Amino acid sequence: MKSLPQEDLYAKIFNNALVAIGTTDTKGNFIAVNPAWCKALGWAEEETNTLNIKDITLAEEQQTLNQELSKLAEGKVCSLRKTQRYKRKDGSIFWADLYRSALFDDKGKVMGILDIFVDIDVQVRSEKVQGELFQSLETLNKELSNANIGLKRQAKYDSLTGLYNRWVMEEMLNKEIIHSLETNRGFAVGIADIDDFKMVNDTYGHDCGDLVLVKLTQSFLQKIRVTDSVCRWGGEEFLFLFPETIEQGAMIVVERIRKSIEELNIDYKGNLIKVTITIGVSFYNGQDNLDGKELVNRADKALYKGKSEGKNKVVFS
């Protein structure tokens, strides 16, 4: 197989690259651009002969541009990577991930500047990325790792309270049923619902409602045992899991939780907010032929019985 001459190969790579590539002299005057560059910025190739890189740079960013070009031209830095905004021919603006490096001649003198960028406007706007993005490949890897950690956390935790979400608790509940069958030890499930929570939101607004949810969460975590778990089940409902306990032991913990909320004082912009909770509890004795959904439904029925009987109480099914 015949190989292309090196210059022809470079030309084909330049013209067929999916990323935008532009070269300028050390003053920023364009020398050559590829088709992807023209598509991204809306300029025809023949029009770029009279363009300077400042023509596609926002006014507020031109001082930074001058400094970067100066450092590259003087050989103080060889390359840089940044996220910046570009201005198209029609005046519209988009975000791009930019690689900028100096071009050297055979004697090691800077003869021009090479810019390679990728349009990331959709990602930036949709994810509301703030601050500087990725200064190097190492930083990129770190940010991607952090993003993965963040996604995993969002999949497991409620964003407001920091508690486990419903999906995680359902998994824990199913595992606890298996464990209970193996050990013949019982456990309890409790559903707590804030009494008249709608009145709090209607009177003081949803910011106050969010504060109430957070304060209750803090109280819950202080009152449950180390082995217990609590999640935000949905809205103003919380689900508790009390492993390896008897009914009397579960009752003690649940009543302690209920009383702590009854005694809780929440200050919202100088207003004293008082709330109560009703809790429905179901018990799994290690032999019941119930799945997690049925167990939760039993606790839910007990909860609504407590609501109908005056609220602010614990009811066992």
Look at residue 141 in the predicted model and tell me its pLDDT. Answer: 53
What percentage of the chain has pLDDT greater than the value 90? 63
> What pLDDT score does 107 carry?
86
Can you list the residues of the chain whose pLDDT is less than 50?
1-2, 129-137, 144, 147, 149-151, 153
At position 175, the amino acid (one-letter code) is K
Residue 142: the pLDDT is 58
Query: What was the pLDDT predicted at 136?
Result: 45
**pLDDT score for 144:** 47
> Do residues 279 and 257 lie in contact, with contact meaning Cβ atoms separated by under 8 Å?
yes
Per-residue pLDDT tens over the stretch 125-142:
665 544 443 444 455 555
CA 34 to centroid of chain Cα atoms: 36
Edge-to-edge strand order for the sheet containing 229-234?
229-234, 237-242, 187-194, 277-284, 314-316
Of 223, 208, 229, nearest in space to 273 by CA: 208
Catalytically active residues, by annotation: 236
> Which residue do the tokens 């009811």 mark?
315
User: Cα-flanking dihedrals φ and ψ of residue 32, to 5°?
Assistant: -155, 145
pTM > 0.75: yes or no: no
